[in-house]
Amino acid sequence: MIEIGRGAVNKMSVRLDAPTVQYGFRLGDTEIPVNPMIGKTVRLEYLGAIHCSHCGRKTKTSFSQGYCYPCMTKLAQCDVCIMSPEKCHHEHGTCRDPAWGEQFCMTEHVVYLANSSGVKVGITRGTQLPTRWLDQGAIQGLPIARVATRQQSGFVEDLFRSQVADRTNWRALLKGDAPPVDLKAVRQQLFDTCSEGLLGLQERFGLHAIQLLHDVEPVDIRYPVEAYPAKIVSFNLDKNPIAEGTLLGIKGQYLIFDTGVINIRKYTAYQLAVHH
């Protein structure tokens, strides 16, 4: 086998393209197309070093997908409100980095429905669709609301997740495609069931801040997968530095080998070598 690249790995680049999603390994400043490797033997080798994706400091453990411990405790992008947007404290003057918050949180977000391992609700910045769906391995996606800030999108999501899930079952994701769902019908059901709560948010923040999307059409997505594994076995590079096998497909941020699966995003900032 020939080494085709090495460096600090980041989540794979993704592009929605007919007929299937296109992927690329990102190793430092190098990007390597992954789709052409499907059906061939691929080896990933962890080189034993992790460097924080923010400060470059060598760290024994990756925190919050790619950060050293000091950065994890100081950076705004690692604060609790990133996972729980409704806990945003920017307005109280306690944001870890107000300028970062203005750029990434005080900006338009989208509340969406996606079908990955079943219907789920989620939020993302307005510029991150359809990338967010592709990273999650969703076979369908539908924006259902445009919201002025991340915190407000968290309030809307909190209403909707009383009716639908907000997480993906990764094992189900890797066993095959979820059955198609009428996302437009789910959207209308959520609007009807949560109408009182939505009206309350619009009265609190203004109609311009919480805009429901009634007429957007769903997006269908196909992934480059030749076969799904009969049994889900995960590679763990911290225990065994080699992940190798015939690449059967790619879905979400997972590589599916005949010998196991690996979530590339989990190993952000790890120094890897790729052989093919």
- Judge whether residue 13 has pLDDT over 90: yes
For the stretch 124-147, pLDDT in tens is: 999 999 999 999 999 999 999 999
Q: pLDDT for 204-225, tens place per residue?
A: 999 999 999 999 999 999 999 9
The 10s digit of each residue's pLDDT in 28-45 is 999 999 999 999 999 999
**pLDDT band per the 50, 70, 90 thresholds, residue 81:** very high
> What is the structure's pLDDT at 18?
80
153 and 147 Cβ atoms separated by less than 8 Å: yes
The pLDDT score that the predictor gives to residue 270 is: 98
Picking from 160, 162, 149, the residue whose alpha carbon sits closest to that of residue 81 is: 149
For 273, the 3-state DSSP assignment is: strand
Q: Is 116 helix (H, G, I), strand (E, B) or coil?
A: coil
Overall average pLDDT of the 156-165 stretch? 94
For 234-269, the pLDDT digits (tens) are 999 999 999 999 999 999 999 999 999 999 999 999
* Contact (Cβ atoms closer than 8 angstroms) between residue 155 and residue 135: no
- DSSP string covering 60-104, please? SS-BTTTB-HHHHHH-GGGSHHHH-GGG--GGGT--S-HHHHHHH
Distance CA(84)–CA(58), nearest Å, equals 29
Say what the pTM is: 0.95
Residue 236 corresponds to which tokens in the numbers above? 């763990």
Q: Mean pLDDT, the chain, as a whole number? A: 96
Domain spans of the chain, in order of start: 3-66+223-275, 104-220
| Peptide bond between residue 130 and the one before it cis (omega within 30 degrees of 0) | yes
SS3 label, residue 269: coil
Q: Is 272:27 a contact under the CB 8 Å cutoff?
A: yes
Q: How many other CB atoms are there within 10 angstroms of residue 61's CB atom?
A: 10
Concatenated DSSP letters for 169-229? -HHHHTTSPPPP--HHHHHHHHHHHTHHHHHHHHHHH-TTTEEE-SSPPPEE----BS---
User: Using CA atoms, how far apart are residues 76 and 58, in angstroms rounded to an integer?
Assistant: 20
What's the rounded Cα separation, in Å, for the pair 116 and 140? 7
The pLDDT value given to residue 19: 86
Judged against a pLDDT cut of 90, whether residue 230 lies above it is answered with: no
Per-residue pLDDT, averaged over 5-14, amounts to 96
